[in-house]
Every structure is written in C-alpha cells, then in structure tokens.
Amino acid sequence: MLDFAIYEGAKTMFESNLGLGPFVILSLAKSIPPGSCVYHDRHFTTVPLIEEMEKLNLHSTAPKIVQNYNKFMGGVDVLDQQMEYYRTFLKTKKWTLKVLIHFLDLALVNSWRLYNNDCVANDLPRNKKMPLLDFRMDIADTLSCTPDHPRRVEGDDDSVPVPRREYKIYRPANAPSAAKRYDGYEHYPISDDIKAPRTCRMENCESRSKIKCEKCDVYLCLSRDKDCFKSYLIGSA
C-alpha cells in the first residue's frame, strides 16, 4: 500500500463534477510516479472518470483492462486476506482506536510482504521464510523486551525525588516466542537472589526454582535430579 484516504462519509474529498469514486481515484493517483498503471474496480468506473483520465493521457481500454486487473489488482485482495488471518480485535465504540489498530495490522502485513520480497531477492529457500504469524510474534516479542528508559522531563533536576517502593510485586514474564525459545544461543542459566523460588515454566512441571534463563526471563528447574532448563530450550519447536 502506497497511499490511503480515510473515508469520513459521503462528503469525503467530494467534487460535484466528478463524483466521490472518480475523485478518490484521481486524488490517490497523485502519489504514484508518472508512467504508472492505475487499476480500479467497477465501483470506481464512470464516464466522467474515463474522460478525465483521457485528459491526463491515462488510457482505459477493455477487455484487456479486465485481464490486467485480474493479473495485477490481486495485491489489494491479498493484502485484505492476509490482514484477516490475524486481525487484532478491540471491543470499543471509539472509531479512532479501531482506525489505529487497523493501520497497525496494515503496517505489520506490509512489512511482512517487504520481508518476503527480500527473501526472494536473496534466494532464501521457502522453508526458511518466516510465516506471517511468527513474523508478528517476533516483532511483538522484540517490542515487549525493549528496555524501559524513563523519559526526561524539563525541570527534572529541580524536582523532588519520589521514594521508590522497597518491595516489588512479582509478575511472571510472558512466555518467549518459539523463534526466541529455540534459537539455540545465549541461553544462560543465572541464579536469582530471591527469597522464595518461582514456579518452573516447563510444561506440566509443578516444582519451583531460583534458576532462570537470562534471555527468556523464565524460571526453570536445574539440578542434579531435574533438568527442565535443557528440556525447555531443546524441545521440538
């Protein structure tokens, strides 16, 4: 997707001499380089639009245009289809939040399609390409693991320091993505200096441990009698 216009009702970018559909086509066409081919479906095809396109030296013919539409216009249909696979649903009546989430999903799918183009350009085997779901999970995992740096506010040096809570409420970290869990490097066990051991994150294990994976940030059993650490990281991805 190169450009878009949010539909705000019947008066969105409306120009009486053309109509809404043709005016949308001509407005969005300003964003594409000269010499590009423009394909649009029947909902935007009107006689005034064809006449206006002729003035701009943009020719629209049939029936070959139908063949070209089916050949090249599939990208938009594929984009909509891929967004529907893992669409983010938000139960809210605020249209602004729905638009924000929609464009977040759009950016993820667009990025994944560019990633696939790079894979093709670099002759990456098909079985090595990251599926869309893993791509989304990898981005979410990366963003959630980004260190939190406090934002500096003007006048911080003169502000009164706020006393910090001595004890923090423990909340288990989110489970790492499969790509991170089974990548096979930099998974180091560290002993956490805590009073009470935490529940082991290995499936079906009810033991508790003070050992955690430094990279995944999950607690796992690691002793002479029980090695959930290895089983958790070496298991079938």
Asked, for residue 123, whether it belongs to a domain, the answer is yes
pTM of the entire predicted model: 0.43
Q: Give the model confidence (pLDDT) of 64-102 as tens digits.
A: 666 676 677 655 677 888 888 999 888 888 889 999 999
Of 32, 27, 40, the residue nearest 68 (C-alpha)? 40
pLDDT in tens, the chain (237 residues): 778 777 776 665 555 566 677 777 777 778 878 777 777 666 666 667 667 767 766 655 555 666 676 677 655 677 888 888 999 888 888 889 999 999 999 999 999 999 999 999 999 998 889 999 999 998 988 888 766 666 666 655 555 555 655 556 677 888 888 888 888 888 999 998 888 899 999 988 999 999 999 999 999 999 988 999 999 998 754
Single out the residue in 18, 50, 72 at which a domain terminates.
Answer: 72
Residue 65 and residue 100 in one domain = no
H or E stretch covering 211: strand 211-213
Q: Which of 95, 120, 145 is the last residue of a domain?
A: 145
Is there a single domain that holds both residue 66 and residue 98?
no
Q: Which of 23, 42, 72 is where one domain is finished?
A: 72
Report the alpha-carbon distance of residue 101 to residue 94 in Å, rounded: 11
**Is residue 150 in a domain?**
no
- What's the domain count of the chain? 3
Q: In terms of C-beta density within 10 A (0-12 exposed, 13-18 middle, 19 or more buried), how is residue 50 classed?
A: middle
Three-state DSSP class for residue 119: helix
User: Would you say residue 57 lies in a domain?
Assistant: yes
Domain hosting 115: range is: 80-145
